[in-house]
Structure 1
Amino acid sequence: MKEQAVNNAVLKRLLSYALTDKPNLVAAIGLLLIASLADVSGPWLIQHFIDNNITRDEFPAIEVAVLAAAYLALMILAGVFKYAQALRFNRLAIDVVQKVRKQLFASVMNQPLSAFDYTPSGKLISRLTNDTESIKEFYVSVIATFLKNIILILVMLAVMTMISWRLTLVVLALLPIVVGVMVVYQRKSAGAYRRMRDLLSDINASMSESIQGMSLVQLMRQEEGFKAQFSGLTDQHLKAQIGVTKLNSMLLRPLIDLLSGIALLTLVALFGFSGTELIGVGVLYAFLSYLGRVTEPLIEMTQQLSLLQQALVASERIFALIDARQQRYGEDLSPIASGQMACRNLSFSYDGKQKVLSDINMTLPHQGFLALVGHTGSGKSTLASLMMGFYPSSEGVVELDGRPLESLSQPVLRQGIAMVQQDPHVLSDTVRENVSLGRAVGDPVIWQALETVGLAGQVRQYAEGLDTLLGSGEVNLSAGQRQLLALARVLVEQPKLLILDEATANIDSGTEQKIQHALAVLRKNMSLVVIAHRLSTIMDADEIVVLHQGEIIERGTHGSLLSERKQYWQMYQLQQAGDHLHQLEDVSTEAVEN
């Protein structure tokens, strides 16, 4: 009963989308009513022709011609209005799907990053595509079919009652049983369809992850393992589909056919016992015709229950995502005046149990340069995410320009802070769009940004210049060029605080020099927070903070930390030794080649 109540709530919400376009919905229902009246009038005319003409052996030319013309006109009218109502319902369905997809995509875009930590992208894509298509089928097939058939049945019952109320009782006895079958089917099929949808989502997620990580899969020789995983999911999906098919075979058409057959035998038996005195031949024909027309809509409606259940399950998933918690921002609309940043007694935990950061205190003045270093898992990237406002702090506060991040509105926060990550995302679009990112920026500003980061010369070599497509196979940027592109994006709309998360980890020395030059230019207008793996990039930092297991264990300048000969000194010595070994290897390689 609880599951049924949930479905009723989902169904009510799903139908509410159609009510936003009441004129179109009313017009579609009106067209259905006219088409149904025209459709059921045909057997009534034939019954009149049988009882008043054939049984009496009277065939007045004018009367027969009028009946034939009226029958033909009614059939044409029914066809035209059925076509018109189908167009109306399709338009209504497409409008609803557009609304739902827009709401769903907007909800996904506004969710906090923590929501994406445990949700594969394939599942989100499945909800945006497959689940919304189920809603379209709900309006085009389910709603249109139910309204059409309910109106058709009511009109036929009214006409049948006018012809013979006794025989109508035989047909009415069939309806409660059919409704009971439909209710049983809906309850038993809910779990099966929900499992089918979940498995389809898992299949999409598996495909998405496999394609995105194809290089890793092939390098680790895991092709067979991923194929086995995908095969297992598809096998489970097939079993779920077979279970639904068995349920359909038991409760849908066979049972309805049996009930309609019983009703048919009852009508024939009544005719056999009473003869033409109680039931005329024309009346029997009309009822047999209407019985077929009543049972077919009932069968059609029960068959649509599978689509109804799919739509309800899909809608549950869609509405759960639409109603999910959104990223929260403050209401402070005052622009950021300086890049002054402070972390006060800052602690954070992803799961609410194990702390990733503990009691972090630091201050960065405007135009200052702060470096964060530490071994993998020390909390550097987590601290950067808190500075960006991606996650709310568990304890303490992060301040920018003397104001808590939680108090800043979205435009103020996102214009005030920017981040360049280790592997910046490149859009499958032009250089211009990759730099502007949809912002109203002129080409001179874009060229100036590219010039500052040292990427303008490379772009000028492209035949299409700023119109060159990136990320689609035409031009592939190196890791260093992607970093420079990301910096150019920052220069277009200069923030007050720039965070670089391992931005120089996978680049050559030449690109590193370009980035350092760009940072020197940027520092004139903003503050810098650099998470560094290469310690050579942070030697000029005003303060270097060393993190270990989420805590600050050292802080100071490059020189002062070396003089203390602790963890920072050890990290520096190891890197110096590594660089020295690389130099020896290069020298040896050159000697062998010569």
Structure 2
Amino acid sequence: MTKREILLRLLSYMRRDRRQFVIATIFLLVAAVAEVTGPYLVQIFLDNYVAKDHYPAMIMWALAVGYIVSTIVSAGFQYQYELRFNTMAVAIIQRIRKAVFANVIKQPLSAFDYVPMGRIVSRLTNDTESLKELYVSVLSTFLRNIALIGVMLVAMLMLSVQLTMVVLVLLPCVVLVMARYQKRSAPAYRRARDRLADINGVMNESVLGMNLIQLMQQERAFSSRFSDMTADHLDAMVTIQRLNGIYLRPLIDLLAGAALLSLVAIFGFSGTAVIGVGVLYAFLSYLGRITEPLIEMMQQLSLLQQAISAGERLFEMMDTPPEQYGHDTTPIPDGAIALQNVSFSYDGETPVLSDVNVDVPAGGFLALVGHTGSGKSTLASLLMGFYRAGEGTLTLGGLPIESLSHQSLRDGVAMVQQDPHMLTGSLRENIALGQTLDDEKIWHALEQVALADYVKGLPAGLDTLLGEGGMTFSAGQRQLLALARVLVRQPKILILDEATANIDSGTEELVQQALNRLRQQMTVVVIAHRLSTIAEADNILVLHRGRVIEQGRHQSLLRQQGRYWQMYQLQQASAHLAALEEEAQV
């Protein structure tokens, strides 16, 4: 999109509040007329009464009262204009921010594979604030000043056409200066905004990964990287300030000074016989009031540049197509899973899964094992619909996954991840996640994961606050809580992605018991690090470099003495060594 198209699109958001805009404009025009009336009344006083040394009391009082009333009316209607216009502007920003956020959370996960989270947050916060300045400051200022200049020009024409022509020469020159300023400042503002987004992204990543940075002694490297970005941002800002120092006031003041000298020269040559002292006073007053709005509009161009750059990025996020789902709203009838010749690649070049075939009946227990990078989590993501298979077919409950609507897919398939995200709210809020659930349903889910007794023992029960990231609960409790979170939805397929990797053997036993109960209600897919968790699985897929190299039940795979048998022996040896170490410490 060009800058003109971006600006027109931003202005189009005002159509929804056109009635509010019309009322604000009427207030603005009344305020402008009232402001111009003051110097006009002074001109009448000087030329008609002071010059003739005639001061009728009634007229003097009328002029004084008129001057005071015009000042009060100007201030009052200006306030009403600002109030209504700014209210409309803030409402527009809220709509834009909600539209961008609504589209961001609907994006496929692939859209976030290579985009830093800090950059996205920066766009949702800093860029929307820049847009607010467009409506609150730029548009408001331009409309107010254009109305004021227009009314003053009309008043000038009524006073003296000859002097008005002198002032009108100033306006085209100012327009040329403004155009030149906009052309030269646009690249600098765009660079400044991009660097600011990068700075926020690095700050976000650094704070989240602070323990890793300090552990790997990379403080100096990250500080150097941050310093380079801030230096580039500073250079862009210095360029902007240099342009501001040249274009904003000096050139405008120079043009205004030339116009002022021309007015004085005309008055000197013509004398009071042609141009009265009051007219000269009014013109000098109007010239000063024209100059300041012109300078103010020039200053607002910097905010306009920022707003256009921000609008470009926000519209890019807003216009990115959301995750595409099918149109079949039929609920998944059962938990049957079928993959036929499924292959997948994240970048279209490096294969992650190759020719995967598996059939899981409804109520079955499928386990996925393999070393890091074998494709286990990728296969789970395909089952969740986070990514589309590059080749082959994948059906859930006999229905092609690409035909399922978003609602059907999310109601039918649920996942518990290795490190589940916890909100800072209450335990109830973490289970409901925005849904309207009665406490009975929540307690039933907690009982299914053997967490109900613990929660009942808490002083606040379901209203217990979990703290930042759920840190008041242990890793095992967070896993059980995440499991309860998905059980309230009663999905047909439950996926556990390394859900037992970070928990102790006691909690693992609780998860195992919960899985045995859940198998009566749904199909269970477990990505396992600990092979003891999947000993009862109906089918175990052993993945290596994206291919299924072995599959079968636990005992049959052990008898084959292949890769699964090797993994099992390594874990048994590790467990034996750990037991010996405990005995030695005792």
Partner of 2:546: 550
Contact 1:31 1:82 in 2 (8 A): yes
1:221 and 2:217 matched:
yes
Aligned pairs for 1:164-563 (under 5 A) are 164-472=160-468, 476-563=472-559
Find the partner of 2:57 among 57, 61, 68: 61
CA distance in 2, matches of 1:28, 1:226: 50
Unaligned runs of 5+ in 2: none
User: TM-score if structure 2 supplies the norm length?
Assistant: 0.98
Listed one character per residue, the Cα deviations across residues 327-363 of structure 1 (whole Å, up to 9, x for unaligned) are 1111111111110011111111111111111111111
Amino acid at match of 1:188: R
1:15 and 2:18 matched:
no
CA distance in 2, matches of 1:523, 1:118: 37
CA distance in 2, matches of 1:460, 1:211: 36
Amino acid at match of 1:155: V
Structure 2 counterpart SS, 1:277: coil
- CA shift, 1:442, in A, is 1.3
Partner of 1:566: 562
Identity of aligned residues (%): 59
- CA shift, 1:225, in A, is 2.9
Structure 2 counterpart SS, 1:476: coil
CA distance in 1, matches of 2:470, 2:248: 54
Amino acid at match of 1:203: I
Give the 3 Å change call, closer, same or farther, for CA 99–217 of structure 1 in structure 2: same
CA distance in 2, matches of 1:582, 1:473: 31
Aligned pairs for 1:45-84 (under 5 A) are 45-84=41-80
Contact 2:541 2:551 in 1 (8 A): yes
Higher mean C-alpha displacement, 6-15 vs 442-451: 442-451
Partner of 1:134: 130
Unaligned runs of 5+ in 1: none
Amino acid at match of 1:248: N
Structure 2 counterpart SS, 1:69: helix
CA distance in 1, matches of 2:210, 2:471: 20
Structure 2 counterpart SS, 1:330: coil
Amino acid at match of 2:209: G
CA distance in 2, matches of 1:402, 1:450: 31
Amino acid at match of 2:437: V
CA distance in 2, matches of 1:420, 1:402: 23
- CA shift, 1:125, in A, is 1.3
Aligned pairs for 1:147-162 (under 5 A) are 147-162=143-158
Amino acid at match of 1:469: L
CA distance in 2, matches of 1:474, 1:132: 30
Structure 2 counterpart SS, 1:366: coil
Contact 2:368 2:541 in 1 (8 A): yes
- CA shift, 1:471, in A, is 2.6
CA distance in 2, matches of 1:362, 1:70: 89
CA distance in 2, matches of 1:475, 1:364: 37
CA distance in 2, matches of 1:343, 1:193: 51
Instruction: Report how many aligned residue pairs link the two structures.
Output: 586
Amino acid at match of 2:485: R
Partner of 1:43: 39
Listed one character per residue, the Cα deviations across residues 265-313 of structure 1 (whole Å, up to 9, x for unaligned) are 1111111122122222111111111111111111111111011111111
- CA shift, 1:552, in A, is 1.2
CA distance in 1, matches of 2:181, 2:400: 55
CA distance in 2, matches of 1:556, 1:471: 43
- CA shift, 1:473, in A, is 8.6
Contact 2:134 2:303 in 1 (8 A): yes
CA root-mean-square deviation:
1.3
- CA shift, 1:452, in A, is 1.8
CA distance in 2, matches of 1:473, 1:335: 33
Structure 2 counterpart SS, 1:276: coil
Structure 1 counterpart SS, 2:494: strand
Find the partner of 1:30 among 5, 26, 51: 26
Find the partner of 2:115 among 119, 127, 146: 119
User: TM-score if structure 1 supplies the norm length?
Assistant: 0.97
Partner of 1:109: 105
- CA shift, 1:41, in A, is 1.0
CA distance in 1, matches of 2:342, 2:469: 44
Contact 1:329 1:410 in 2 (8 A): yes
CA distance in 1, matches of 2:86, 2:29: 17
Contact 1:372 1:380 in 2 (8 A): yes
CA distance in 1, matches of 2:266, 2:98: 58
- CA shift, 1:77, in A, is 0.4
CA distance in 2, matches of 1:303, 1:473: 44
Contact 1:535 1:572 in 2 (8 A): yes
CA distance in 1, matches of 2:469, 2:2: 48
CA distance in 2, matches of 1:31, 1:290: 21
Partner of 2:159: 163
Amino acid at match of 1:377: G
Contact 2:451 2:480 in 1 (8 A): yes
Higher mean C-alpha displacement, 233-242 vs 260-269: 233-242
Listed one character per residue, the Cα deviations across residues 54-82 of structure 1 (whole Å, up to 9, x for unaligned) are 11111111111111111111011001001
